[in-house]
Amino acid sequence: MSPVSIIPKPTLFHETVKRELDRTEVTEESGDLANVIQELNQSIRDHSKSQKCEVIFISDLQKSLWNPIPDLKQKELNQQLDLLGQVCSLRIIDVGDEKLSNLAVTSLEQDDSFVVVDRPASFSVKVRNFGQQSVKEQFVELYVNGHLADSAQIDITAGQDQVISFSHVFAFQGQHQLEVRMADDLLPVDQKRWLAVNVQKGLKVLLVNGREADNPSNRATFYLETVLSPKVTSGDLTGLFDVDSVSMADWNRVDLKQYDAVFVVDVPDFQKEEASKLRQYVAEGGGLILCMGNQVDLLNYNQWKLKSEAGDGFLPVELLGRAKTNQGDQAFYFLPEDLSHPILKPFEGNPGTGLESTVVLDYIKLKVIPDISTKIPLRYDSGDPVFTETSFEKGKIFVLTTSVDLSWGTWAVQPGFPPLVYELVKYAVSGRWKKSELKVGELVQIRLPNLKEGTSVSITLPDGSKLNSILANLQGKSGQGQIGQKNAGQGQAGILFSRTDQAGVYQVFSNEKKLLNQFAVNLESTESDLRRIPFERIKNQLSVETELTYTKDWQPEKGILTSGIEMKTGINQGIMILVLCLFFVELLMSWKFSYGLGLLTFFGLLAFIGTVYQYQTVLGWGIFVIAVIVILFVNRGRILSRAEKLR
């Protein structure tokens, strides 16, 4: 966050300064000392001029503030301090306590990529002991929608983390709030943490069938429909998937926003409107799975390659050509070397599940686009990818290089096919339902694609206060809780919200008081680390010319007393100059009174302009110019008369 200047200009009214300091409240935002000092440097350049100044830092010497990470941030801080030290003397008043300890909730995360009703959902809570002594029998409580749902008692060693797992079954779908609490300590602000959870009834999956057939088993999507149907799924997967299948001719009339994952299976080609629709679907958090087959037109697909800049592309790789097993040649097999990816986790430590014995006769060779971040979780024994994963904005794109039927191999009837499809769907939806953690002070983009531009909404802050706003196309800059705009177009209505200066849950309501969206904002965990940095380390990082002193009390330093003496000396000099000016005025008045009065007026005006100029440069110059114009106007007759005589 940018620093806020409470009193940005010099002032002689000390009571005003004290009153403003008393009104200052502690915020929950993270400190950024480099930005503060940069603001100080600018203020001194604007207002101090050539006057000597001193900057006093009242600080607890928190390490995360004075020794920021990464190194580039530390270098920037040192440079700003050295720059400030060129025009000011610097002093640190240490108000910290060496023995302070702190226990904090540093994270609250949803373990699963999605949460559905009537199924256990697991959440992980991390508590860190930032102190130097162990803590025993510490209670950690989980609240769901304001009601106590679970609790745990932990012992936590000094300087260590403790992870607690909570499980909860949600009875109804919709928006839910989770909060973790601990008993307050010396720093109560980090004893809580929040999470906003969107609970679904199930996962909606769309299958786009690129090849119709009289015999259902010859349809391109037949085996996907089979493994995702309620008749085949069992155990925890029963009723989890709600599957719709559409033909290639009808799919572009379907509203993709209602689906969590979309399989595009052996579709020959795409038009611009269809490509743009798929790109927008992924950008808003959808999971897109592209499955290859006999009908795929490689030239058409490559026309829609994904680019980071604006465009219609959705394909994150370049399709090179078809790798075929010729007669007598050995087939291709999956090479499960690394099974650490979430999609492949069920196969880890489970040999004989059919993954290794999968026979593939044909697949599409591809090349990863250098500028796009793409992972390859699984390869063939030839070294080429079986499938790729690419994150794009909020969503994910997967490219399966072989068919999901029997036209290019036996994968669709192998035991390893169903679990891989299940995990693929569950992982693909994480961009839509698993929300990333937001920190205090961060800008939040809230898309409400089901509403139109111009719709009124209200935002409820954690303290219960409300802000009103109007939805617009998300394109442009954001303001204080106002509307921003980006990617203008249909379905992009939303807001950019910057008033996230409180930790807690923020809720967006319609005019009809319907909850549209919610998000949780939490403290930066580094702020809970109260470890201190020695003053000598701060001093040693600065230039030898930078004057930096240290004290633990509020008494003026010797340099301050000297400045006071210099100030008094300056006042005495001013009095002497004033007496000297009055002496000359008196002499002039004794000779000719009008001349003496004019000189006295001139000195008075000069003193007034000088005083104003010291605090308001522009105003001082303005008064000076006006005075010159007035003098010339009053004496215009004399000036013209003197000019005539000179001619």
Which residue ranges make up each domain of the chain? 14-98+532-555, 103-200, 203-433, 438-522, 571-636
More confident residue, 450 or 166: 166
pLDDT of residue 261: 96
Instruction: Point out which residues pair with 335 in neighbouring strands.
Output: 379
Low-confidence winner among 250-264, 398-412, 480-494 (lowest mean pLDDT): 480-494
* Of the candidates 195, 9, 169, the residue with the CA atom closest to the CA atom of residue 108: 195
CATH class of 103-200: mainly beta
**How far apart are the C-alpha atoms of 157 and 242, rounded to whole Å?**
47
Q: Is the peptide bond before 70 cis (omega within 30 degrees of 0)?
A: yes
CATH of domain 438-522: 2.60.40
103-200 and 438-522 have identical folds: yes
Residue 227 has pLDDT above 90, yes or no: yes
Low-confidence winner among 118-122, 306-310, 477-481, 640-644 (lowest mean pLDDT): 477-481
Q: What burial class does residue 602 get, using C-beta atoms within 10 Å of its C-beta: 0-12 exposed, 13-18 middle, 19+ buried?
A: middle
Instruction: Point out which residues pair with 550 in neighbouring strands.
Output: 92
More confident residue, 629 or 160: 160
How many beta carbons lie within 10 A of that of residue 417, not counting itself?
A: 20
Each residue of 306-336: pLDDT tens digit? Answer: 875 556 789 999 999 999 876 556 789 999 8
Torsions phi, psi for 351 (to 5 deg) = -65, 155
pLDDT of residue 616: 64
For residues 88 and 53, is the Cβ–Cβ distance under 8 A?
Answer: yes
Residue 572 has pLDDT above 70, yes or no: no
**How far apart are the C-alpha atoms of 301 and 275, rounded to whole Å?**
9
Q: Say how many CA atoms lie within 13 Å of 398 toward its Cβ.
A: 27
End-to-end C-alpha distance for the chain, whole angstroms = 68
Average pLDDT, the chain: 84
CATH of domain 203-433: 3.40.50.880
Residue 414 has pLDDT above 70, yes or no: yes
Q: Which of 200-214, 337-351, 603-617 is the most confident on average?
A: 200-214
